[in-house]
A and B are shown apart, each in its own frame.
Chain A
Amino acid sequence: KAKLFATGKTVIDEDDLQKHLDDLELALLQSDVEMGVAQEILDGVEQNLTGQTRRRLSSTGNLVRDALREALYDVISVGQFDFEERIAQADKPVVIIFTGVNGVGKTTSIAKLSHYLDQCGYSSVLANGDTYRAGANEQLQKHAENLDRKFISHEQGSDPTAVIYDAVEYAEANGVDVVLGDTAGRLHTNEGLMDQLEKIDRVIGPDMTLFVDEAVAGQDAVNRAREFDEAAEIDGSILTKADADPQGGAAISIAYVTGKPILFLGTGQDYPDLERFDPEAIVDQLLA
């Protein structure tokens, strides 16, 4: 071992490595990375490192940390694409449907994205496919008024697919670039409502389905991401409330189980509080 030290290299000691991996597992759990996901990521790190002779960094800890950084980056940067470019290329109107569990920030994100699209020079119409929750129509309507956008809705209890269909027709007739379709919040255990989401997906055939979840979500994030992706395949995610929880390990869980990119971060309640997602920045936060 002494010789290896002298050349700046060391064989990683398995016990030593295990201790570091255990510490890192706790650190990941502490930032809300789901346990199964954390374990698989660390298994990968371990396989990369055990028994190998590696250039000795300042300590085993740093070596493991660097390997973890890489592994996390691989997960979180999965499938990143240029959202604006995709909008630019697509036939108009581009139909985007927002899905997710109750209260994560779907409706607010629609308003923010409408503002974002406007900044990029695209017009949009807001369609309220939440025909379920109390005050849902009024909420999205107020956003539409504030932003001066056309708002399409039907009365409570009606078929959400029909609302979005109407909005697509409106956009086609009026040369609007993007249809932003809201859906009611639902838990992934509610089969009836998950079927309804499937129907919207089947009948409308949206250009993009964005799954919305919140940075403050814990271990359950994997379950819901998986179930929503199964009901209506998602193209990417939006992680909201990052201002309330800058660590956002939920992003790792969601990207890992869906294999789809996180596209935006919600960072507040105002319209400009929507940022393009930066995979590197999140990894830095996680390992800070």
Chain B
Amino acid sequence: MVLDDLGKSLRGALDDLRGKSRIDEEDVDAVVKEIQRSLLQADVDVDLVMSLSDSIKSRALDEEPPQGTSARDWVLRIVYEELVELVGESTDLPLENQTIMLAGLYGSGKTTTAAKMAWWFSTKGLRPAIIQTDTDRPGAYDQSKEMADRAEVDFYGDPDEDDPVKIAREGLEATESADVRIVDTAGRDGLNEELIAQIERIEQEVNPDRNLLVLDAAMGQSAKSQARDFQEAIGIEGVVITKLDGTAKGGGALAAVDETDSTIAFLGTGETVQDIERFEPDGFISRLLGMGDLKQLTERV
């Protein structure tokens, strides 16, 4: 597999540094090149990769490593720190009453994520409800209702209504007794002005405490512009990466959090309502670089 090769070549490049205490520019160039390849193959935005590798390079050459640190561990630590800085912590989700709206591209996993999140909140002792406002996709109501049943949570939708704003308004009233209201929306993209205007209207009606952008782990370079468009339209407080049970690495999320100045909230790893995890930066960064447990490696420094 290409991806395994990459983790290997990155490890190889770093291993070349093993035993060295001083790093010269050539060493750094070689390692930075491999890191660029890892990140690009993980769908991290090209510009972001370049600016990341610039700062990694200048730090590796300019900063003085702590006493007794090998060149290899030092470079690794810089890479890790730069990525942590970019990714940040997991989105803060207080376990209290709130309304969350989900937005994102067609088929990215919003409806499934709504049910997963509802299930997750219910395991925390809160009472969630899902409000389904998708009036565009055939069968959206049935899908969402069935997922809500599987998650054993309250549900509101209206298959005969074609105004999503009205469904949202009536849904908020109907689910008043719930602690956490999760508003699902139809799929859309930033280039579609009509659908962007529609979600702006829904957002105004719902006035959510936070909006989450649901992003397919396999999404390519357009993650950046899409995230920017959603940010401009409704504001994004967090990102959910779905379909991480495949081989895609979810690097698009880096550009998304960068563009929206937000963080990652959840990871989706399957089609059932339990297949959801709270985001945890270390594992994600290891996955991006195709290397196991980076944190442990860097903690030695």
Contacts and interface: CB of A to CB of B under 8 A. Distances in A.
Contacts of A223: 1, 246-248
Contacts of B108: 103
Contacts of B146: 134-135
A152 B184 CA distance: 29
Contact of A138 (B42, B143, B190, B251): B143
B25 to A, nearest CB: 19
Interface in B160-208: 189-192
B72 interface: no
B73 to A, nearest CB: 28
Contacts of B138: 138-140, 142-143, 146
B142 A249 contact: no
Given A26-B46, A103-B109, A135 B140 contact: yes
Contact of A218 (B105, B136, B220): B220
Interface stretch (A69-77, A163-171, A237-245): A237-245
Nearest to A266: B106
Interface string B104-120: 01111100000000000
A189 B105 contact: no
Contacts of A36: 2
A133 B109 CA distance: 12
A221 to B, nearest CB: 7
Contacts of B46: 26, 29-30
B107 A105 contact: yes
Contacts of A136: 139, 143
B106 to A, nearest CB: 6
B134 to A, nearest CB: 11
B142 A218 contact: no
Contact of A220 (B40, B137, B248): B248
B139 A141 contact: yes
Nearest to B115: A134
Interface string B225-256: 01000000000000000010111110110000
Contacts of B189: 241, 243-244
B147 A134 contact: yes
A36 B271 CA distance: 30
Contacts of A249: 220
Contact of B219 (A138, A218, A269): A218
A138 B40 contact: no
Main SS of the interface on chain B? loop
Nearest to B3: A223
Given A29-B40, A224-B246, A101 B221 contact: no
Contacts of A134: 142-143, 146-147, 150
Nearest to B109: A103
B58 interface: no
Contacts of A141: 139
Main SS of the interface on chain A? loop
Interface string B77-92: 0000000000000000
A232 interface: no
B262 interface: no
Contact of A219 (B42, B105, B107, B145): B42
A148 to B, nearest CB: 14
Given A187-B246, A218-B221, A35 B147 contact: no
A220 B252 CA distance: 12
A140 B143 CA distance: 12
A189 to B, nearest CB: 5
B144 interface: yes
A29 B221 contact: yes
- Which of B42, B107, B216, B217 lies at the interface centre, i.e. has the most chain A CB atoms within 10 A of its CB? B107
Given A30-B46, A217-B219, A102 B107 contact: yes
A104 interface: yes
Given A102-B271, A134-B150, A243-B189, A139 B2 contact: no
A57 B34 CA distance: 35
Contacts of A32: 220-222
A31 interface: yes
A179 interface: no
A55 to B, nearest CB: 32
A222 B259 CA distance: 27
A279 B143 CA distance: 36
B28 to A, nearest CB: 18
Nearest to A32: B220
- Which of B138, B143, B271 lies at the interface centre, i.e. has the most chain A CB atoms within 10 A of its CB? B138
B247 A269 contact: no
28 contacts: A26-B46, A30-B221, A31-B221, A35-B41, A103-B216, A133-B143, A133-B271, A134-B146, A135-B139, A136-B143, A137-B139, A140-B139, A142-B139, A216-B105, A216-B220, A217-B219, A218-B219, A218-B220, A218-B252, A219-B248, A220-B248, A221-B220, A223-B246, A223-B248, A241-B106, A244-B190, A244-B191, A244-B222
Given A103-B216, A139-B142, A241-B106, 16 more contacts: A29-B221, A32-B221, A35-B41, A101-B243, A102-B109, A134-B142, A135-B139, A135-B146, A138-B142, A188-B246, A188-B247, A189-B246, A218-B223, A220-B247, A243-B191, A269-B137
Interface of B: 1-2, 37, 40-43, 46, 105-109, 136-147, 150, 189-192, 216-223, 226, 243, 245-249, 251-252, 271
